[in-house]
Amino acid sequence: MSGQPTGAEPRTAVPLTNEHGQRLGRPVDWVPATAPDKDTVLEGTGVRLEPIGPQHVDDLYAAVCGADDEQIWTYLFWERPRDRGAMAAIVDDGTQDPGQVMYAIVPTETGRAAGFCSLMRIDPAMGSIEVGGIAFGRRLQRSRAATEAMALLMRHAFDGLGNRRYEWKCDSLNAPSRRAAIRLGFIWEGRFRNAVVYKGRNRDTDWFSVTDLEWPRVRRALDDWLDDRNFDAMGRQRVRLAARPPETAQPQNQQKEQ
């Protein structure tokens, strides 16, 4: 770690207006964040995140590229790989791109990659970083390991690298992604209309974030949910994850869906 603030910043009694009567943002004792590297493995209890590489291609091709996996790729920028070479090209791009760190998601019970995700839009000077490019294979979807994978990345972003802002963005029509963001404690910030053209269609992009001031609340909720005591002998949760923000912070169409 590099000594950056990882939780609430001190709130000092200082004027929030200048001599011209203009309102000012709260003061921040800020040390720039550290950029993530492509070598660090993030170890959890039931899952680990490994910087992606050629050794993961076969597992990923089997986990997310089958004919019945088409829906996994609907809102990703790539088309579903139809052969191993296409999956290998995605992995190679992830390893070579200096603007992102791409991870294979590996449940410890199998030791085989079951999905992938990336840290991107990395801005250490401002302490902002985004999680994206998330693909969960069917065995990973709605699992404890999937939630732990996202928690590992959040801990890495805030506690390990010292970021102030952790972003999540998705197609506004991607209801599962929006529900996942809210469940994990992200705050909906708004919708960027006509933000992207991909796969020959328009994308309005919904923006979500967790800030360092919110992170302690989210971290406690994630830790409580992931605790072994929250699961019965069959691995079923006893209490639902309670990291979500107030309902009023959610997009209107998402409030109706939950």
pLDDT tens digits along 5-62 = 444 444 545 679 999 999 999 888 889 999 999 999 999 999 999 999 999 999 999 9
The number of CA neighbours under 13 Å toward the Cβ of 66 is: 11
> What is the model's pTM?
0.88
Cα separation, 193 vs 211, in Å, equals: 23
The number of CA neighbours under 13 Å toward the Cβ of 239 is: 13
What average pLDDT does the segment 199-203 reach?
A: 97
- Architecture category of domain 42-257 in CATH: 3-Layer(aba) Sandwich (3.40)
What is the band of 147 on the pLDDT scale with cuts at 50, 70, 90? Answer: very high
Residue type, 107: P
Q: What is the pLDDT of residues 151-186, one digit of tens each?
A: 999 999 999 999 999 999 999 999 999 999 999 999
**What is the three-class DSSP state of 186?**
coil
Cα separation, 65 vs 84, in Å, equals: 9
Domain boundaries, the chain: 42-257
**What is the three-class DSSP state of 210?**
strand
Q: What is the pLDDT of residues 67-124, one digit of tens each?
A: 999 999 999 999 999 999 999 999 999 999 999 999 999 999 999 999 999 999 999 9
